[in-house]
Amino acid sequence: MGNEHRLLALLVFLVLGTGLAAAALGATRADRAGQGSVSGGRVDPREVVPTAPAGPDASAGRVSVACGRNAEGHWNEDNLVVSPGLRAGAHHTHAYVGNLSTDALSTDASLSASATSCVGGDRSTYYWPVLRRTDRPGDRGHEGAAGHGNTGEILPEESVAVEFRGNPVGKVVPMPRFLRAMTGDAVAYTAGSGADVRARWGCSGSPDRFTTRYPRCPAGQAVTRTLVFPSCWNGLDTTAPDHRSHLRFPSDRGVCPRDTFPVPELRLTLSYAVAPGVPIALDSFPEQRHSPATDHAMFVDVMTDAQMGALVACLNEGRACRT
């Protein structure tokens, strides 16, 4: 009788395990299919569970940096953080605010001497891949120059919010000048792992709800992209061979990994006027099929010590500041 019970239990386990595995595989395939579609696979962010709010001991300071919305048309196919010195190393087009000279050949010295779109004098550079309308060919520069399937009219950002926040469980320390940072995974569609995916797509009417797919926003609401950067620094390096390991993300509760220190958390929020039904596509590597999950952004800190010190003080003191 004991052997029969064990055999029955084993049979039940195998049946349940097979069913769960099939369900998981089906979900994975469905998710990848949605990511790979430019116009399909959209989701209503109102159906997505909102992110958890900060705890009662959070450092509530926020600093907004007014840097415009790329009215200068600063675009190129370079990536100073990932491919320094390599022209067109991104294989897709990036849009910028902040430092007006940033390209693949920029140096710390050239960035320090450049003009900036930030009204308070912040010479940092903030950039991300452009978003396009695929139903319009476009006739401006960079609307066909990137190649690799990245064509169509570039959608201008209706607004670009550059914001720094504190850490939910402690004080932040200053970022070192010329710190390089990136967020997101430009090869998420083929990566086989979502570990580095940080895409947050949404609608302006639901600011606390996000998805990794292209959102289906109601008429009158803007499509949004929120790009949150890692905020736990190793205290030593301004960059790393993998462009990531010197900066890490905190836990869901805001705790930094061992041997790292909390620094200001950068958030970029981009908004676009997109009518319902208009096909959109994020610039990407060709094999990534314009997946919205590949959204990413880069940052180089070129603030002076005085500018960074004022930012940190505002965050640690729980104030709301604008520069």
Q: Rounded to an integer, what distance in angstroms lies between the CA atom of residue 63 and that of residue 264?
A: 10
CA-CA distances (angstroms) from residue 8 to 16, 19, 63, 91? 12, 17, 62, 57
49 vs 190: CA distance, rounded Å = 26
| Residues 19-33, mean pLDDT to the nearest whole number | 35
Q: Where are the domains of the chain?
A: 37-322
pLDDT, residue 21, reads 35
What is the per-residue pLDDT across 201-243, written as a single tens digit (0 to 9) for each?
A: 999 999 999 999 999 999 999 999 999 999 999 999 999 999 9
Phi, psi dihedral angles at 191 (to 5 degrees): -70, -30
Of 245, 236, 262, 239, give the one whose Cα is nearest residue 195.
245
| Biggest alpha carbon–alpha carbon distance for the chain | 83
**Tens of pLDDT along 110-168?**
999 999 999 999 999 999 999 999 999 887 777 765 557 898 999 999 999 999 999 99
The reported pTM is 0.83
8-state DSSP, 167: B
Neighbours of 269 (CB within 10 A): 19
Express each pLDDT in 262-299 by its tens digit. Answer: 999 999 999 999 999 999 999 999 999 999 999 999 99
**CB of 152 within 8 A of CB of 143?**
yes
Residue 44 above 80 pLDDT?
Answer: no
Name which of 212, 211, 253 is nearest 232 in CA terms: 253
Whether 249 has a pLDDT exceeding 60, the answer reads yes
